[in-house]
A and B are shown apart, each in its own frame.
Chain A
Amino acid sequence: MAISARDRIRIKLKEGDTTVRVLLAHPMHTGRGKNEQGELIPAQFIQDIRCWRNEIEVLTIKCGTATARNPYFSFQLAGGEAGDKIMIRWVDNLGAKGIAEAELL
């Protein structure tokens, strides 16, 4: 199943540190929800999210089914300067993948 909405990253320099906000577009089905016909929707959820800054891996997040739909994260990175590239990659349990990139202005 294709996921049409796009993943978004916002990065901002604040008091010398980089604030990263990530919004991923994903339904995050737990496998317990039902559709309108009362049939179970098979589980589909993001399992692994990784974040790189300038090719250096800074954060790994492992998710279970209890992560909310369209996962949102926000965290800070020490330091940072204009031109820094932040990259996020995710993989879900069915093997679907996504990449999002942003550059610090």
Chain B
Amino acid sequence: MTDKLNKHRRAFVKNAISASTLALVASSGLILPQRVLAHWPTDAFTADTVEDALLALLGQAEDISDEKVKFKVGSPPKYAVNGASVPVEIETALNNVQRIAILVDKNPNPLAMSMELSSDVRLPFKNMIKVAEESTIIAVIRADDKLYRTSRKIKVDIGGCA
């Protein structure tokens, strides 16, 4: 008698677990759009200064300056005719890169983008940003829970923050 009861209990527990997992998966798929928007760090992207943006994004503004990060800005380097699309390329010898943030110090809102990388992603990472005027472009990388910061100065002929 008790044996049979136990068996039933097993089956019940098993079913209950798989049902709840399924529900979880389904709901996570359904609520994706809201989750996407809710996770946009508004404070970080609307901050006026580099320090504020980093504080809002990473919770700290202090970081280690490091030359292990290869960071190319502009083409030819350090110069851009049109600030509306300035190529940026980031490469690093660091392992376990978790996050990369790109900031432009003279832009109205310095934080240009923030990327979260899974272990599958390899650098170099390339993309284009807008630069309002001659300024310093900063790349902050979090790898192995440490922050590394590199910056490059760039000259811009036509500002591109319109």
Contact = CB atoms under 8 A, between A and B. Distances in A.
Interface in B101-122: 104, 107-122
Interface in A37-93: 47-48, 50, 53, 56-69, 71-79, 91
A74 B122 contact: no
Contacts of A65: 45, 109, 130, 161
Contacts of A75: 121-126
Interface of A: 17, 30, 32-34, 47-48, 50, 53, 56-69, 71-79, 91, 95, 97
30 contacts: A17-B122, A30-B161, A32-B161, A33-B162, A48-B39, A59-B116, A59-B121, A61-B113, A62-B115, A63-B112, A63-B113, A64-B111, A65-B109, A65-B130, A65-B161, A66-B129, A67-B129, A67-B130, A68-B130, A71-B128, A73-B125, A74-B127, A75-B121, A75-B123, A75-B124, A76-B123, A76-B124, A78-B119, A78-B122, A95-B37
